Amino acid sequence: MKSIVLSSVVVALLVFSGCSSKEPAVDTEKKTETVAAEEVNSVETETVAAEDSMVDSSSNATDSMSKMSMSDVEAQLSAVYFGFDKFELDSDMQAKISKAAELGKTNATDYNVKLEGNCDEWGSDEYNFALGLKRADAVKKALVAEGIDASRISMVSYGESNPVCSEKTQECYAQNRRVDFKLLP
C-alpha cells in the first residue's frame, strides 16, 4: 500500500511539473586575446652548484608531521551513538566529540567535516530523517562549543537508509543510531 501511494505521488509530480519550455542561454561570442611576441619574455635558466642545492627541510618537517592525510584523520574519528528516539548527547559520547574537536583544531585544519545523522528502522521515514538531522545538529553544537568554526561543519541526515547492521537485534539497532564524521577537502 505504501509503495502504491508513493509511486502515485511520484507520477503526479512528474505529470504536473512537465518539461521546461525555456531554451538554454548560450554565449556565442568568442573572446580571444592576442599577445604580441615582444610581450612574452624568454625563459632564463640558471645553474646551481651541487653544494648549494640543499634545501633546509627542518622547518617543513614539523609542518608535515603535524598535518595528517584525510584518511588518517578519518580513521581516528569514531561515530557518536545515541539512545533510542534520543538526540541528546550522553556524557560518554562527549569524550569522542572532544577528541574529534582536538583533531579538527590540530591535524585537520585544512578539512571541513560533514556530520551524517543516522537512525534505526523504527519510525516513519520523515521522522527518522528529522531525528538524524537533530542528532547531527547536537554534535555540531558540541563541536562548536569545543572551538571548531561552525562554517567548517555541514550536516546531512540519512534517516534509516544507511544502516551499518541489518540484523533484527537491539545491539544492531543501537549501532545504527549514530552520527558519522566524514572529512571534506
CA atoms within 13 A on the CB side of 86: 9
- In the prediction, which pLDDT does 72 show? 87
**Residue-by-residue DSSP string for 38-83:** GGSPPPP-----GGG-----HHHHHHHHHS--HHHHHHH--PEE--
Sites in the chain below the pLDDT cut of 50: 20, 22, 24-28, 30-48, 53-66
Contact 131, 117 (CB under 8 A): yes
How far apart (Å, rounded) are the C-alpha atoms in residues 82 and 66?
Answer: 32
CA atoms within 13 A on the CB side of 103: 23
Nearest Cα neighbor of 128 from 158, 161, 159, 166 is: 159
Q: What's residue 22's pLDDT?
A: 47
Against a cut of 0.75, is the pTM above it?
no
- CA-based angle 74:78:81, to the nearest 5? 145
Q: Can you give the residue ranges of every domain in the chain?
A: 80-177
CA distance 44 to 50: 19
Reduced to 3 states (helix: H, G, I; strand: E, B; else coil), residue 149 is coil
- pLDDT score of 174: 95
Q: Please state which CATH class domain 80-177 belongs to.
A: alpha beta
Which pLDDT does position 12 carry in this prediction? 64
Using one digit for the tens of pLDDT, what is the confidence trace for 69-117?
888 888 899 999 999 999 999 988 999 999 999 998 998 888 999 999 9
